[in-house]
Amino acid sequence: MLKGLRSGSTFPLLHQLSPATLPSGFGRSSLKTFIPSSFSIPATRITFLRAMSTTMHAVQIPQHGDSSVLAWIPVPKPSPKPDQVLVKVAYAGVNFIDTYQRSGLYPQSMPFIVGREGSGEIVEVGSKAQGGFKVGDRVAFMAPGSYAEYDAVPTLTVAKLPDTVSLEDVRHPFFFCSWE
């Protein structure tokens, strides 16, 4: 929802509300009498509040099945173990193994978060993480759970990206072998 906002821009409060988040008996039209449509919150404030959150959203599968079992739900935000980094996922690779796991061809214990690789920015570094990673590094990674806003990833499966490579370009693992 906040994608594309720059520091200093604002986000209209009414746009982030949905019927599910409103108190019983309230509708969007009711809010307009209490909150003017020009009311806004600085995007930097929303980003800060979101960063402090202990929950995130992820594509989770509660049971094997077709694509209808994919669910975008709130789940606990992971904390990196000492040998991991926490990545704010920008892109996740979509692969055949995702469909195999979802369908039950490759059984998984349920529920589980889909995805095996992605790219993003490091937002937290574990106390014993190797590789010289730091907050703000742009990385590509291979680890379960990439269909999520955040993924705690072992540093052995993380690669820093050169400035010439975009996060979008490395959402698939084959890229790990293709630059020098």
Residues of the chain with CATH 3.90.180.10: 55-177
pLDDT, position 26: 40
pLDDT at 95: 85
pLDDT below 70 — which residues of the chain?
1-52, 171-180
Tokens standing for 152? Answer: 């705690």
Fold entry, domain 55-177: Quinone Oxidoreductase; Chain A, domain 1 (3.90.180)
pLDDT at 82: 97
Q: Quick check: pTM over 0.85?
A: no
Interatomic CA distance for residues 51 and 30, integer angstroms: 30
Query: Distances from the Cα of 8 to the Cαs of 44, 47, 50, 80, in angstroms?
Result: 7, 11, 16, 30
Q: What dihedral angle (degrees, nearest 10) is formed by the CA atoms of 165, 79, 59, 62?
A: 150
How far apart CA 137 and CA 159 sit, in angstroms, is: 10
- Strands (E) across 6-100 are located at 10-12, 40-42, 55-61, 71-76, 84-92
pLDDT at 115: 93
- Distance (Å, whole) CA 53 – CA 146: 18
> Tokens 């821009």 label which residue?
9
pLDDT in tens, 76-106: 999 999 999 999 999 998 888 999 999 999 9
DSSP E strand stretches across the chain: 10-12, 40-42, 55-61, 71-76, 84-92, 112-113, 117-125, 138-142, 150-154, 158-160
